[in-house]
Amino acid sequence: MRPDVPSERKALQEAGDALDKNTKGQWVCDALARKLGELNSSELVVVDAVRIQSQINAFRLAFGPEVVHIHLTASDEELARRYSERNGYIKELPSYSEVRDSETERNIGELAKDADVLISTDRCTDQDVLVRAAARLALFPRAVTPLVDVLVGGQYGSEGKGHISSFLAPEYSYLVRVGGPNAGHKVYRGDQEDPYTFHQLPSGTSRNSDANLIIGPGANISVETLLKEIADCQISSERLSIDPQAMIIESRDKRREKRIEGSIASTAQGVGAATARRINDRGKKINLAKDIKDLKPFVRSTAEILEKAFLRGEKVFLEGTQGTSLSLYHGPYPWVTSRDTCVSGCITEAGISPRRIRKIIMVCRTYPIRVGGESGPMVQEITLKEIASRSGLREELLKKTELTSTTHKPRRIAEFDWEQLRRSTILNGPTDIALTFVDYIWHENTQARRFEQLTPATIRFIEELERVSGVPVSLISTRFHTRSIIDRRNW
């Protein structure tokens, strides 16, 4: 704005008309050309607005086919209404009819004849117009590119998802976690004796990965647990994003779940009670992530972050929790968790379209487990002593390993359930299977670095698994170690 021109609508109209006359409409283009030197060459520039045909011609002459003329229209009644609600930085005329006293303003509608894009803005919000214009400029992709790989458990949980997730994490730009703190995912920490167990953050947070981290809108959050993991892993607010819609678990939720802890072997972390409260207390005041002061630096919309990631063609890894046979809808009720643990449930919690899915990795262990106590049915239950006898592993080591990640309770263990495998395959539609705990078949598998180094019995087991599921076993974990995964993927 010229300093000698008052900040008034009438004065600005007259000054613009004078510049148009003196420069034949060239002045707007010249002003933009001077500004372009300060911008990145890849920047998208919006000029709001041109007023006469000669201004448009100047842009086309200077910048050629890169210029797209978008003409917005609305009814006179709508324009008058919008004008009456203006509260800008200049002094406006008393009414829109006085604005139209200017010949230039009256003739703006004639520019529609030359426009590349014509958009009627009646009954539209500002965002509506923005979205429609962006679509006409092809700023949104014409096709949905599959960029998301999802990992889920194929049994009752504790399949070793954390170890597989940590191994895959360096290949992705974004790691997304859903579920809640009732599921713990153990990650190998190099030379450190004890593994780290993630309950809220993605398992790839701290191992050879600088990917951005997301906790999705369907997640349930224990603030204390999450803040501890953030501190332990030194996660910045720039790296971690927590969706504002994520549900906060409160102390009353944990107290409520204590009542059913023994009857269904619940972890009593308050996830189910918080989920029920989210439904039952609609219309009441409940705390979501956006309401918690300590989380505010991390709160951002998952949908907006992922949309930008997809536009850039960046890969996303979604880490599911628990196991398919614990699904609220598909597991043996009432010995189930409070959510759908299948692929469909996980992508819903994250807000990801099924068309975005590229790969589905289903993790299975050689001997499925359930939490000890009244945790529900399991086919052909056996003892750790029997597995020790078969595998050559020490029973004391097995007892130390087979404790739950969250409550540290002893696990029950059983023979591999082939019917369960087939059912989980039908529910999840995996493209790949990750098989874990092959050292439980024979302890010398811990030394295998390649597929052919596995024992013949192990190879036969894997071949049978592929026949029953119809899915390749692409990842094989031989032990809990950084070099323990045999990678057979073709992607």
- Tell me, yes or no, whether 123 and 201 share the same domain: no
On whether the CB atoms of residues 40 and 122 are closer than 8 A, the answer is: no
- Tell me, yes or no, whether 68 and 97 share the same domain: yes
Strand positions, DSSP E, 216-289: 220-221, 240-242, 247-248
Contacts of 34 (CB under 8 A, 6+ apart): none
DSSP state of 293: G
Per the listing, tokens 């597991």 go with: 331
On whether the CB atoms of residues 217 and 302 are closer than 8 A, the answer is: yes
Answer whether residue 441 shows pLDDT above 70.
Answer: yes
Which of 115, 136, 157 is a domain's end point? 136
Nearest to 268 by CA among 404, 414, 411, 177: 404
User: Considering the domain boundaries, does residue 418 fall inside one?
Assistant: yes
- Tell me, yes or no, whether 192 and 306 share the same domain: yes
- Tell me, yes or no, whether 88 and 179 share the same domain: no
User: Considering the domain boundaries, does residue 233 fall inside one?
Assistant: yes
**In 10 A of CB 22, how many CB atoms?**
10
C-alpha R_g of the chain? 30
Q: List the single range of 148-157, 185-194, 225-234, 378-387 with lowest mean pLDDT.
A: 185-194
User: Considering the domain boundaries, does residue 365 fall inside one?
Assistant: yes
pLDDT band at 36 (very low <50, low <70, confident <90, very high): confident
Q: Which helix (H) or strand (E) holds 364?
A: strand 357-365
Which of 77, 110, 136 is a domain's end point? 136
Answer whether residue 183 shows pLDDT above 90.
Answer: no
- The 3-class secondary structure across 415-475, one letter per residue, is CCCHHHHHHHHHHHCCCEEEEECHHHCCHHHHHCCCHHHCCHHHHHHHHHHHHHHCCCEEE
Q: How far apart are CA 455 and CA 441, in angstroms?
A: 9
Q: How far apart are CA 475 and CA 455, in angstroms?
A: 16
- By CB atoms closer than 10 A (0-12, 13-18, 19+), residue 242 is buried
- The 3-class secondary structure across 43-88, one letter per residue, is CCCCCCCCCCHHHHHHHHHHHHHHCCCEEEECCHHHHHHHHHCCCC
Query: What is the CATH number for 370?
Result: 3.40.440.10
Q: How far apart are CA 69 and CA 116, in angstroms?
A: 5
- Tell me, yes or no, whether 310 and 433 share the same domain: yes
Q: Strand pairing partners for 485? A: 477
Q: Is 158 left (phi over 0), alpha (psi -120 to 50) or beta?
A: left
Q: How far apart are CA 481 and CA 346, in angstroms?
A: 27
Q: How far apart are CA 131 and CA 140, in angstroms?
A: 9
Mean pLDDT (the chain, rounded): 92
Domain that holds residue 162: 148-246+299-487
pLDDT tens digit sequence for 7-25? 898 999 999 999 999 999 9
Looking at residue 186, its pLDDT comes to 85
Strand positions, DSSP E, 84-226: 117-120, 148-153, 174-177, 185-187, 196-198, 212-215, 220-221
- Name the token pair of 163: 């170890």
Per the listing, tokens 């009414």 go with: 95
Which of 82, 104, 136 is a domain's end point? 136
Average pLDDT value for residue range 442-469: 97
User: Considering the domain boundaries, does residue 254 fall inside one?
Assistant: no
- Tell me, yes or no, whether 378 and 237 share the same domain: yes
- Tell me, yes or no, whether 305 and 398 share the same domain: yes
Looking at residue 96, its pLDDT comes to 92
- Tell me, yes or no, whether 129 and 172 share the same domain: no
- Tell me, yes or no, whether 360 and 480 share the same domain: yes
Per the listing, tokens 């628990």 go with: 322
- By CB atoms closer than 10 A (0-12, 13-18, 19+), residue 53 is middle
Q: Which residues of 403-421 are buried (b: 16+ CB within 10 A; e: fewer)?
A: ebbbbeeebbbbebbeebb
Answer whether residue 194 shows pLDDT above 80.
Answer: no
pLDDT tens digit sequence for 64-98? 999 999 999 999 999 999 999 988 788 999 999 99
- Name the token pair of 245: 């819609």
pLDDT tens digit sequence for 224-268? 999 999 999 999 999 999 999 999 999 898 888 777 655 555 667
Looking at residue 38, its pLDDT comes to 84
Domain count, the chain: 2
DSSP state of 93: P
pLDDT band at 214 (very low <50, low <70, confident <90, very high): very high
Contacts of 472 (CB under 8 A, 6+ apart): 432, 433, 466, 488
Give the CA angle between residues 401, 402, 403 to the nearest 5°.
Answer: 100
Q: How far apart are CA 384 and CA 372, in angstroms?
A: 13
On whether the CB atoms of residues 203 and 185 are closer than 8 A, the answer is: yes
Residue 295 to residues 213, 218, 393: CA-CA distances in angstroms? 14, 16, 45
pLDDT tens digit sequence for 344-390? 999 999 999 999 999 999 999 999 999 877 778 899 999 999 999 99
- Tell me, yes or no, whether 51 and 125 share the same domain: yes
Q: Rounded to a whole number, what is the largest CA-CA distance in the chain?
A: 96
Answer whether residue 445 shows pLDDT above 80.
Answer: yes
Residue 344 to residues 336, 350, 433: CA-CA distances in angstroms? 17, 10, 17
- Tell me, yes or no, whether 70 and 36 share the same domain: yes
Looking at residue 469, its pLDDT comes to 98
